[in-house]
Chains A and B, each alone.
Chain A
């Protein structure tokens, strides 16, 4: 399988980063970047990444099972991640997560019927001093109140 020319370039470059014969080092970055382009880690992606890194598909599978950001099923177009770890919890992270469930009508690791949104209650994302925090895709949002959350979601709904 082929990826976009930009990603092919990135992968070719990536494989030069490791000592000779240790190209398996590229495995996790390749899975992350391929997932961003394809939408999820499909069996085709597993086989392709295995081939390029010189490992078996089983060795790729065992890695996918370990890392929480690697997904075998597609997420929503906008993956909403709400932190409820200690710093966020103290300033309303849990209430924000409950609000997010209601607003989106889905629970932890679920996707809306139209495929637009998915929701995940996540662990500390490194925004503790600006809590409560969420990430939509890779974008951080700080000091998120239920009102601000609604504005963010409503704005994304309008884009569709």
Chain B
């Protein structure tokens, strides 16, 4: 099912089957070049597969943007341990709702991508870790897996080529932190989702302490097209070092919201004005979160840039998970900062102190500032505290909480000051300390 109409500016590679009748069925998949890339991969050496993925300039779609082919090449070859593939379908980054569509509309594309990865590293087993809230996707995925087993694309001696691979779904149970790769692996092993200390990285010691490839749903979904049409063809869809297309999830104050597949490097303002139909109600643009709520926010005048990993990094933000959250001129930025911190405070796993205590303290400060209380010193403290969390936690959740906060305080400091200045009424008769 589609939740929004396609747009003529889209380049449909991963979403090419969206909208077809029974697009999730194996018959539709096979009728539209499905599992052809697997056939091709079976005739290739593992090195050839990895080189093809390297040539595609595909970078991890979960948020970090690490080159996928390189990640795969880190899996050691000559070890006795079994090797595993894990799909991160724990999509939880606020502003992001793309993996849901990829599984719902084309689950076999994901299975084929996983099978190709398995061939590239010699893996024998894999899990698709789906967030607990997406129960209906587990049913869709289980049905697709059953079809693939029945037709000989999974299980023993796949396509008669002596290749064995088992693939299962695994449900999460409501924890943003489990989208972090090492916490996800802990959860897969039946434990609390707290991050692991790295190194070793999952490529060396991942699921059940075996070498593991762990990628986002969208990353695996790009792989069949790369093998089918060739790495360079996929790469050329995007811009240098940022190959292919990616799914952008438009949300917030736009006339038209939805998920669209666009080439890497697509201009952000064009995305907002032509695909999103401009800012709702004819209002002016104030700010954009370019890739999920962990990314530093961009002011309207900073939004004239292409959407690829390197351009966003140059603008001191991130392409992240593709969640583009648009805010109009009436948006209360202090409230937005508070809501974002409320989320990270709730989701902090509590494993390391800078994140656990930092997010709690920041939430208290921001609650106070949002109510117009506190002092200018509190505004400074928010920035200082967040800067001191950066890089001091086991996993990126601490950074994810700090980065948007720092950028909002720096770029919209006037709004914090205005709230303090405009607060008058009950202040005289109450204590200046507010318990929150």
List the one stretch of A99-107, A110-118, A121-129, A151-159 in contact with chain B: A121-129
In the complex, are the beta carbons of A29 and B170 less than 8 A apart?
Answer: yes
A139 / chain B contacts, CB cutoff of 8 Å: 136
- Min C-beta distance of A22 to chain B, whole Å: 5
Q: Which of B9-17, B125-133, B394-402 contacts A (4 or more CB under 8 A)?
A: B125-133
Question: Which B residues lie within 8 Å of A131 (CB)?
Answer: 251, 257
In the complex, identify which listed stretch (B40-48, B94-102, B362-370) lies at the interface while the others stay far away: B94-102
A90-B325 contact given A62-B192, A69-B132, CB 8 Å threshold: yes
Interface size class of A (residues with CB under 8 A): 35 or more
Q: How many A-B residue pairs have CB under 8 A?
A: 152
Q: A129 with B339: in contact, given A68-B174, A87-B325 (CB under 8 Å)?
A: no
Expressed in whole angstroms, the Cα–Cα distance for A17 and B134 within the complex equals 20
Interface presence of B411 (CB below 8 A): no
> Interface stretch among B156-164, B183-191, B219-227, B352-360?
B183-191
Residues in A neighbouring B258, C-beta threshold 8 A = 129-130
Whether A138 contacts B135 by the Cβ 8 Å rule is: yes
Contact of B325 among A17, A53, A126, A128 (CB under 8 A): A128
Do B251 and A87 have beta carbons less than 8 Å apart?
yes
Distance of A27 from chain B, by nearest CB (Å): 3
Docked CA distance A153–B95 (Å): 27
The B contact surface, by secondary structure, is: mixed
A87 interface neighbour in B3, B91, B95, B188, Cβ under 8 Å: B95
B106 shortest CB reach to chain A, Å: 17
- Asked if residues B173 and A86 are in contact (CB atoms below 8 Å), the reply is no
B343 contacts which of A69, A90, A124 (Cβ < 8 Å)? A124
- A30 CB to closest chain B CB (Å) equals 9
The residues of B that contact A129 with a CB separation of less than 8 Å are: 3-4, 97, 249-251, 257-259
**Chain A residues, Cβ within 8 Å of B347:** 123
User: Contacts of B210 on A, CB cut-off 8 Å?
Assistant: 19
Confirm or deny: B393 has a beta carbon within 8 angstroms of a beta carbon on chain A: no
B-contact bits for A135-149, CB 8 A (1 contact / 0 none): 100111010000000
| A130-B257 contact, Cβ under 8 Å, with A28-B171, A86-B95, A86-B325 | yes
B309 proximal to A (CB < 8 A):
no
Q: Chain B's nearest CB lies how many Å from the CB of A88?
A: 9
- Among the interface residues A18, A66, A140, which one has the most CB atoms of the partner chain B within 10 A? A66
Q: B289 on the interface (CB 8 Å rule)?
A: yes
Q: Does B208 contact A (CB under 8 A)?
A: yes
Separation of A29 and B210 alpha carbons in the complex (Å) = 21
Q: Output the residue of A26, A53, A123, A139 with the most chain B CB within 10 A.
A: A123
> A residues within 8 A CB of B336?
86, 89-90
Q: Are A135 and B94 also in contact (CB < 8 A) when A55-B190, A69-B174, A86-B336 are?
A: no
Q: Does B382 make an interface contact (CB < 8 A)?
A: no
Binary A-proximity of B246-274 (CB < 8 A = 1, otherwise 0): 00011111000111000000000000000
Enumerate the 7 nearest inter-chain pairs by beta-carbon distance, A residue then B residue, closest first: A27-B190, A69-B174, A67-B173, A24-B190, A68-B174, A87-B251, A124-B94
Can you sample 23 A-B contacts with CB below 8 Å? Answer: A24-B191, A28-B171, A28-B187, A66-B175, A67-B132, A67-B173, A68-B175, A85-B293, A86-B252, A87-B94, A90-B252, A123-B347, A126-B92, A127-B100, A128-B95, A128-B249, A129-B97, A129-B250, A130-B3, A130-B4, A130-B257, A138-B136, A139-B136
- Contact residues of B with A, CB < 8 Å? 3-4, 82, 91-97, 99-100, 125, 127, 131-136, 166, 168, 170-176, 187-193, 208, 210, 249-253, 257-259, 289, 293, 323, 325, 327, 331, 335-336, 339-340, 343, 346-347, 349
